[in-house]
Structure 1
Amino acid sequence: MSLELDINGAIKTAMLARQEAELRALRAIKAAILLAKTAEGASAELTAADELKLLQKLAKQRKDSLEIFRTQNREDLAKKEEEELLVIDRYLPKQLDESEIRTAVAAIIAETGASSPADMGKVMGVATKQLAGKADGKIVSGIVKELLAK
């Protein structure tokens, strides 16, 4: 519930300041929260983990769209996605850099006893739980592949 209250307050502030890009992103977050709360089988309140997953999903959508728009030379649309991504990133926890991810993955590989690329599923299962919200899954997957191939 705290995320929803934060977003509502930020929407009011953005409206008063007439910040169109920020308002667009905040409204997207609010809409996603309302959809998640009213989804069939969902509880009335979102947990912190649910809020985190929701924000990660929104950020991933913006990153994917940004990539597509850039390949199609649509800088006007790419700029909008980038602006929204910056606002969404403010509500996400700090992401680990590549060296920190490498260290964590190496520890997970040692912990699970993985030795070949065939053990990737076992390593990824632990890594996704430990690094949830802190690292992008594509980056983690690439590092796991690289380390297990050695």
Structure 2
Amino acid sequence: MSLKERLTEDMKQAMKSKEAGKLHLSVIRMVRANIKNVEIDSKQELSDDGVLDVVAKEVKMRRDSIEEFKKGNRPDLVENLEQEVAILMNYLPEQLSEAEVRTLVEQAVVEAKAVSPKDMGKVMAVLMPKVKGRADGKLVNTIVRELLNQ
């Protein structure tokens, strides 16, 4: 079953569960709308990789918003967004731990023959396809900077 089909099936389930599934329903509808917008813009149907990109982008947007709402002392909005992130994470592949990311970064540094922070672009070019959708970009960026600055 493709990721788009899974979203459709989950949306149907959320509709059937009425009040209990309202948050699920709104999050899934929003993701499906964004997928449709990307498809319209690109004039082609998205593959599972494309759908993963959209879902990962939605997660990133919510995590950024959570940080801002925490600064603004809005725990009500933070809690709501955290629930939305939890729902969206169900559609992403299992996330890599920090140790696993660190190992992949070390391999990418060797593969890209990077020796200074100026080589960060080379390392990221090698690394990002390996961690796509499975690790937070900020974490990857932080670890790469840390290793290249040694």
State the Cα deviation string for residues 73-95 of structure 1 (Å, max 9, x = none): 11121122111111110000011
Q: Could you tell me the percent identity over the aligned residues? A: 39
Shift of 1:4: 2.2
| Matched residue count | 148
What is the distance in 1 between the residues matched to 2:130 and 2:3?
A: 22
Retained in 1: the 8 A contact 2:55–2:88?
Answer: yes
Retained in 1: the 8 A contact 2:4–2:48?
Answer: no
Root-mean-square deviation over aligned CA pairs: 1.4
Q: Structure 2 length as normaliser, TM-score? A: 0.92
Unaligned runs of 5+ in 2: none
From 9, 28, 31, give the equivalent of 2:33.
31
Retained in 2: the 8 A contact 1:52–1:133?
Answer: yes
After the TM superposition, which parts of structure 1 deviate over 4 Å for at least 4 consecutive aligned residues?
A: none
Corresponding position: 1:22 with 2:21: no
Aligned match of 2:43: 42
Unaligned runs of 5+ in 1: none
Aligned match of 1:138: 138
Retained in 2: the 8 A contact 1:56–1:133?
Answer: yes
Corresponding position: 1:59 with 2:40: no
What is the distance in 1 between the residues matched to 2:56 and 2:22?
A: 22
Equivalences for 1:1-150 in 2 at 5 Å?
2-18=2-18, 19-39=21-41, 41-43=42-44, 45-150=45-150
What is the distance in 2 between the residues matched to 1:63 and 1:85?
A: 8
What is the distance in 2 between the residues matched to 1:124 and 1:8?
A: 34
What is the distance in 2 between the residues matched to 1:130 and 1:7?
A: 24
